[in-house]
Amino acid sequence: MNKNLRLLTLAAVALALFSAVGCNKLRARDQLNKGVEAYKNSHYEQAIDHFQQAVQLDPALINARMYLATAFVSQYIPGVDSPDNLRTAQQAIDEYQKVIDANPSRDQKVNSAKGIAYLYLNMKKWDDAKKYYRMASDLDPNDPEPYYSVGVIDWTACYQPRMEERAKLGLKPEEHLNPKNKDQKKVCDELKEKNGPYIQEGIDTLNKAIQLRPDYDDAMAYMNLMYRERADVECDDLAKREEDLKTADHWVDETLRVKKAKAEKAAQGSGGITVDQPK
């Protein structure tokens, strides 16, 4: 008799726990829906509160974490290094990472990786940003945007130190590093060794982005910049420098061509008036 009573008691406790869990899941979804509504109305702080309650009630509710991370991103101001702003960025990163760790769908994992990469990019943490853009590329090799973003990071990593060294030497914008000048040759060799891997990776990733999206004019514009980076550190082979500059000019022409084609297509799509050309 006592044995049966214990079994009934355990069953009652299990049922109560199951009911509580089910109730929490329902309450979590209610908080999620309220958060989405607040987010749509640009009430971001209110949305964050609802999403936080949702993940507390149901930690496995991945959509709530995704929305919570996105809401934090909406509060982040790129380029502002205040403690509060950096804390907001880190909160978004933490939530995105929890989504990644929860073995979500591929799209959720890709979007989380790109979200983290975007934040690290704006925080100027180049290596961390590239790590997550590469994760996104590994998950979705046909997406051109992560390849483009890695190329942008590589160009930024090359351009800033090169311009600082040029400024120290007093070079004008149109002047290249001169291999016949001892000081300029030394700087050129150091920059080539330091920036060379970034330049090559940048060219390779931008090429990949353009292969995947043939009308990717932003990638073409950065391809021009990457070849100019390489040209300026080709101090030992001036023929290669000229070749790189020609290639850079080619990408300028391609960028303008694609932009013009897009503008014409947009004008036609909007019902713009066209004038017949004389025959």
Tell me the per-residue pLDDT of 38-80, one tens digit each, with 9 for 90 and over. Answer: 999 999 999 999 999 999 999 989 999 999 999 999 999 998 9
Beta carbons of 136 and 117 less than 8 angstroms apart = yes
pLDDT at residue number 277:
42
CATH of 25-119, one of 3.40.50.2300, 1.25.40.10, 3.65.10.10, 3.90.1310.10: 1.25.40.10
pLDDT at residue number 236:
85
Any residues with CB less than 8 A from the CB of 195 and at least 6 apart, and which? 157, 158, 161, 162, 229, 233
* CA-to-CA dists, residue 51 to 41, 94, 115, 206, angstroms: 15, 14, 17, 37
pLDDT at residue number 16:
46
**Confidence (pTM):** 0.83
Q: In whole numbers, what is the pLDDT of the chain averaged over residues?
A: 89
Q: How far apart are CA 101 and CA 91, in angstroms?
A: 15
Which of 26, 68, 75 has its CA nearest to residue 47?
68
Any residues with CB less than 8 A from the CB of 38 and at least 6 apart, and which? 44, 46, 47, 50
Q: H helices of 140-181, where?
A: 144-169
Which of 92, 146, 87, 152 has its CA nearest to residue 124?
152
Q: How far apart are CA 59 and CA 57, in angstroms?
A: 6
Q: Is the pLDDT at 22 greater than 70, yes or no?
A: no
pLDDT at residue number 270:
65
Phi first, then psi: give them for residue 76, nearest 5 degrees. -80, 140
